[in-house]
Each structure stands twice: as C-alpha cells, then as structure tokens.
Amino acid sequence: MRVYSSPWEKPKMDEAERLAALEARLSKLEDRIPADRFPRTMVLADHFLKRAFAIWGHYFVANLIIGLAVAFVVGTFVLALFALGVFSGW
C-alpha cells in the first residue's frame, strides 16, 4: 500500500485498486477492534424483530421511569394542596 505525503493528495488508481486498498484498510481497522468490545445487547441483533422489540423495551422503560417521576411530583403537589386545605370547600 502506498503512503502519501499529504492527506489531501488524491491517489491515482483505478476502481479495482481503490476498492482493494479500501478493503485492506478496513480489515486492518477490524483487526484492531476486539470481538468482545461490543456489548451483548439485542439492539445489535441481526434479526429485525429482535432489534424492534429491544428498542420498544427501552422506550417502554424510559417512559415508565419518566411517568413515575411525573406522577410522584404531581401527587406530592396535590397532597400538599390538600394538606393546606385548598380543596376543603369542595
């Protein structure tokens, strides 16, 4: 593989040579990343349905956490209003 003096220097090669050079660079990069570096999660699964349900599960849990936090804040506010007697005339 040819080393260029400048990163902006355009290589003079045909498409087959360029493709072979890109494949060589890609394989070098893939060799640098260990296989166990990626997390074992269904978000990275090969099958569409597994990925879809994994994303839906994350969405559901996030909404559940946010909903519980909002319900706690609103419930605390309403209980404070009841304790102050704001709703005593109803």
Per domain, the residue ranges of the chain are 15-84
pLDDT tens by residue, the chain, 90 residues = 566 666 666 666 788 888 998 999 999 988 888 777 777 889 988 899 999 999 999 999 999 999 999 999 999 999 999 888 887 776
| 47 CB burial (10 A radius; 0-12, 13-18, 19+) | exposed
- pLDDT 10s digits, 31-55: 888 777 777 889 988 899 999 999 9
Cα 30 from Cα 28, distance rounded (Å)? 5
Q: Against a cut of 0.85, is the pTM above it?
A: no
Cα 69 from Cα 89, distance rounded (Å)? 29
Cα 32 from Cα 23, distance rounded (Å)? 14
78, HSE (Cβ side, Cα atoms, 13 Å): 6
Which residues of the chain form beta strands (DSSP E)? none
